[in-house]
Chain A
Amino acid sequence: MTDYRTFLKEYDGPAIRIMEVCGTHTASIAHNGITSLISSKIRLISGPGCPVCVTVTEYIDRLVELSLEPDKVVVTFSDMIRVPGSRQSLQDVRSEGGQVRMVYSPLDIIGLAAAEPDKTFIFAAIGFETTTAVYAALMDGIVCAGIENVMLLTSLKTMPLVIDWVCSMQGGIDGFLAPGHVSVITGYELFEPLSEKYHVPFAVAGFEGEQILIALYALVKMISKGESRVMNMYPAAVTADGNKTARLMIDKYFEPCDAAWRGMGIIPRSGVMLKEKYRLYDAGSRDLFSDHSHHPGCRCAQIITGAQKPAECPLFGTSCTPDKPQGACMVSTEGSCYSYFVNRRIK
């Protein structure tokens, strides 16, 4: 097999900027020490693909309110509890008696709801297409079984439009590591129009260290040759047209809507929410757009697109730190600002 490791380490062509859109890729890159294995001329930038980190303060505030209402319980993934709202996080409100339960799977809410039928259980439904498929399966289970005490508060987002937004900003990204598990659902064809529109290559990547190196190799090769297409370097799990059953189920229950991205603003049609027919299961997700983390000074939008560095943000290290994070870049434990503050990526 090709010696892609040597190629990446010894690359000495023009400086290039590659963005990994998916938060789990950012985590895996840090976890494996990938930056230390590639040439310093290849710069990796963490993009906006962490759905936990891009939830706006108003969404968190609504969850906090719901957790304090009598006979209501908020059910959530564990990594949501640290995200600050305009005043508190879910972790903060727990110590004031807020009812918050953490689960591994959204489907666990069915068992919780059955055990306490006099309470309403609300899932903090965040995620990209990968997790939206799971919520669709959950909705199917709820509707078919006639369960009446489960609802969703959604802040669901989709990939292509946010990547389009990144490309349209002035960041100058030369290539994208396409999200591996979103692609399992959507198929890698999803990224072809973007690749064509902006003449930029995409490589779908898995999450093991070796899989990321292989995808980076494909990207650097394509960039060097001026190729702009989508290469699937995670063929074990990803196909051209993805999981149709999952997509049909998503389309049954959800429809596109505008979505607000923490520190970045509203991107039209970049999210999904429950269809009108199923709105009775919605705990008030519409128009949760207000974002108190969006100081005039916050540079999240520029940092997340690689146009600026964390140290160039006036809030960095002063009013925005890992202990009191403002925008998505600091909320995420693998975000650019958090990483820069505590966890230097080695060159």
Chain B
Amino acid sequence: MCVAMPGKVISVHGRKAVVDFAGNRINAEAGLVAVKPGDSVLVHAGCILQVLPEDEANILADLFAELEDL
């Protein structure tokens, strides 16, 4: 568990949001996270669980540095 995939929010209407995954669109539940059009979001079983940052490279660099210090 659990199959989930990042997609792009196209529009928000009440507790639902249209999310696009490379041309596939679903009407996802948006009641668990505050979202706006343009957000990159993680969707599991038709429900948005998290907003994703543009890139995680910087945060990872810090983690690698921490591991080198071990």
User: A and B touching (C-beta < 8 Å)?
Assistant: yes
On A, residues with C-beta under 8 Å from B are 1-2, 22-24, 49-51, 77, 104-108, 127-128, 130-131, 133-134, 137, 140-141, 179, 181-182, 184-185, 207, 214, 217-218, 221-222, 225, 227, 231-233, 235-237, 243, 245-246, 249
Residues in chain B near residue A107, CB distance under 8 A: 29, 45-47
With A2-B68, A108-B46, A182-B2 known, 7 other A-B pairs at CB within 8 A are: A107-B45, A130-B2, A131-B2, A134-B47, A137-B32, A221-B70, A236-B59
Q: List 18 A-B contacts (CB under 8 A).
A: A1-B61, A50-B1, A104-B26, A104-B45, A105-B46, A106-B45, A130-B1, A130-B44, A133-B32, A141-B29, A179-B2, A181-B1, A181-B49, A232-B63, A235-B60, A236-B53, A243-B32, A246-B32
Min distance, Cβ A144 to any Cβ of chain B, angstroms: 9
Residues in chain B near residue A249, CB distance under 8 A: 31-32
A45, B60: Cα distance in complex, Å: 25
Asked if residues B2 and A137 are in contact (CB atoms below 8 Å), the reply is: no
Asked if residues B32 and A245 are in contact (CB atoms below 8 Å), the reply is: yes
Min distance, Cβ A180 to any Cβ of chain B, angstroms: 8
Q: Pick the most buried of A137, A221, A222, A246: most chain B CB atoms within 10 A of its CB.
A: A137
Residues in chain A near residue B29, CB distance under 8 A: 105, 107, 134, 137, 141
A271, B2: Cα distance in complex, Å: 17
Residue B67 CB within 8 A of the other chain = yes
A108, B49: Cα distance in complex, Å: 17
Closest to A52 in B: B1
Contact pattern, B 1-15, Cβ under 8 Å of A = 1, otherwise 0: 111100000000001
